[in-house]
Amino acid sequence: MKQQPPPLPQTQPPTLTQATSAGATAESSSSSNMVAHAICSLNSNNNNSSSSSSVETPKCRPPLYPKPKTPSFDKDRDYIGFATLPEQVHRKSVKRGFEFTLMVVGESGLGKSTLINSLFLGDLYKNRQMPNVEERIEKTTRVEKKTMDIEERGVRLRLTVVDTPGFGDAINCEDSWRVCTQYIDEQFRQYFTDESGLNRRNIQDNRVHCCLYFVPPWGHSLRQMDLDLIRRLHRKVNIVLVIGKADCLNKTEVRKLKERILQDLEDNHIQLYQFPECDSDEDDDFKQQDRELKASIPFAVVGSNTILEVAGKKVRGRQYPWGVVNVEDAEHSDFIKLRTFLISTHMQDLKDTTQDVHYENFRAQCISQISQHALRERGKLKRDSISSTNGFDAAISETDRLLLQKDEEIRRMQDMLTQMQEKLKQTHLMEMKKNDSVIDV
């Protein structure tokens, strides 16, 4: 079946049913933009965003996906019915809803929170607190998880954004990567435990499906700390590189920086998320879109939560004295390409790669560790039993000797009994013959 390319610019914001921020730090983030207002008005009955349990359904919910047509059995005699299988799968998954976990890594001030809010039209960083200089010197990287339930055309998505505030902020940031790798491994371990448990029906998937790694626009290429982290993460998670605040660079600078980054990755044998090959039977528009997405890596993005009016049109952009950067304009930034890739075209593939490649690697390692442990334990048990056998050798052999004697006695008695029975039988037969001959005479 041919896959239709999704429409590129999305003008209708999805319905945000509830935003939750577990462990969120506080910030007076500007929410003066229209999108935030639209979202806030939907959330007006729900200002307390600390609980994540209930998902409120908006009153005027957009129509659900069209129901599959009921087949007319009378008219179409050749109709069996399995052609509706895709619709059945579709309805089931829409009912269940979707989960996606995105990790955002990069030093502070690179525009991470602005970009996430722009991508998902939410305000996930409402209560953010910025650390001061003294706090930053000693600060260690930590993990903050924020979850929001969003709904678009009846499709529900539970989005979890895993942020790593403090990443690269301390003077010594050698261990910043450790927090990220530990978090990813913990989620895999939890999933592995849940999957091996008795109740596997309602497993919550908290595994990290994608890691957006922010590269600063002011360097010449990747720094040592970028390479260190990416090298440690690239076999655990789908890494997608993003050049933040790309409006600092002109077109040539963006192109050169992208080339140098790709060269660095190649020289260091680092493999980021691999886009799947486009099927040959896809239509030309889709193939073209796929080519453009692949050619844009790493995405050079500009983020903004402000809606501006340019030539009578409302655009998401950044106002400068010399003009407006339109975030959604492909000439200004790869924002739309990133959003198309992350949300519209490759979200499911990111999840599949997490399951089939990264989690499978982790699972294989776990199983090999468990079997090695079991082998060691078995070897230990064998050794223990051999040494205990030596200790009790004398006692056991004495008992065995007595048992063997008794066995032998029983066997001899059984033989005697059989012989006696045989003799009795023969005597009886002889007597019978004698009696017969007497009668004959």
CB closer to ligand GDP out of 9 and 109: 109
Q: How far apart are CA 75 and CA 48, in angstroms?
A: 56
Q: Minimum distance from CB of 326 to ligand GDP (Å)?
A: 12
Q: Binding to ligand GDP by residue 317, rule CB under 6 A? A: no
CA separation (Å) from 188 to 157, 180, 202, 315, 364? 21, 13, 16, 40, 12
Closest CA to 29 of 16, 42, 40: 40
Q: What is the DSSP string of 156-175?
A: EEEEEEEE-TTTTTSS--TT
Q: Minimum distance from CB of 306 to ligand GDP (Å)?
A: 9
Distance between alpha carbon 83 and the CA centroid of its chain, in Å? 30
Residue numbers 228-247 binding ligand GDP by CB under 6 A: 245, 247
- Near ligand GDP by CB under 6 A: residue from 21, 43, 101, 113: 113
Residue 19 neighbours by CB under 8 Å, 6+ apart? 39, 43, 49, 122, 123, 124, 126, 146, 148
Q: Kindly indicate which of the ranges 54-62, 111-119, 344-352, 392-400 contains the residues binding ligand GDP, using the contact rule CB under 6 A.
A: 111-119
Looking at residue 26, the DSSP 8-state letter turns out to be B
Amino acid at position 405, single letter: Q
Q: Describe the strand order of the beta sheet including 313-320 as a list of residue ranges.
A: 307-310, 313-320, 323-326
Q: Minimum distance from CB of 218 to ligand GDP (Å)?
A: 11
CB closer to ligand GDP out of 49 and 164: 164
Residue 129 neighbours by CB under 8 Å, 6+ apart? 25, 26, 27
Q: Kindly indicate which of the ranges 73-81, 112-120, 131-139, 274-282 contains the residues binding ligand GDP, using the contact rule CB under 6 A.
A: 112-120
- SS3 state of residue 121: coil
- Near ligand GDP by CB under 6 A: residue from 302, 336, 338, 350: 302
CB closer to ligand GDP out of 114 and 340: 114
CB closer to ligand GDP out of 106 and 353: 106
Q: Describe the strand order of the beta sheet including 15-22 as a list of residue ranges.
A: 15-22, 144-152, 155-163, 98-105, 210-215, 239-243, 299-300
CB closer to ligand GDP out of 288 and 319: 319
Q: Minimum distance from CB of 134 to ligand GDP (Å)?
A: 18
- SS3 state of residue 307: strand
Q: Minimum distance from CB of 138 to ligand GDP (Å)?
A: 18
Q: Kindly indicate which of the ranges 105-113, 141-149, 225-233, 260-268 contains the residues binding ligand GDP, using the contact rule CB under 6 A.
A: 105-113
Q: Kindly indicate which of the ranges 39-47, 107-115, 133-141, 375-383 contains the residues binding ligand GDP, using the contact rule CB under 6 A.
A: 107-115
- Near ligand GDP by CB under 6 A: residue from 17, 33, 101, 108: 108
Q: Please, what's the b/e burial string for 227-249 (b: 16 or more CB within 10 A of its CB; e: otherwise)?
A: bbbbeebbebbbbbbbbbbbbeb
Q: Binding to ligand GDP by residue 169, rule CB under 6 A? A: no
CB closer to ligand GDP out of 112 and 234: 112
| Size of the chain, expressed as the number of residues it contains | 441
Tokens read off for 400: 């065995």
| Secondary structure in 3-state letters for 235-282 | CCCCEEEEECCHHHCCHHHHHHHHHHHHHHHHHCCCCCCCCCCCCCCC
Closest CA to 357 of 262, 267, 242, 234: 234
CA separation (Å) from 299 to 1, 241, 243, 342? 29, 7, 6, 11
Q: Kindly indicate which of the ranges 50-58, 108-116, 276-284, 427-435 contains the residues binding ligand GDP, using the contact rule CB under 6 A.
A: 108-116
CB closer to ligand GDP out of 289 and 327: 327
Q: Kindly indicate which of the ranges 77-85, 106-114, 232-240, 346-354 contains the residues binding ligand GDP, using the contact rule CB under 6 A.
A: 106-114
Q: How far apart are CA 66 and CA 63, in angstroms?
A: 8
- Near ligand GDP by CB under 6 A: residue from 161, 303, 308, 328: 303
Number of residues engaging ligand GDP in binding (CB under 6 A): 11
Q: Binding to ligand GDP by residue 109, rule CB under 6 A? A: yes
CB closer to ligand GDP out of 17 and 114: 114
CB closer to ligand GDP out of 113 and 289: 113
Q: Kindly indicate which of the ranges 104-112, 133-141, 262-270, 384-392 contains the residues binding ligand GDP, using the contact rule CB under 6 A.
A: 104-112
Binding stretches for ligand GDP (CB under 6 A): 108-114, 245, 247, 302-303
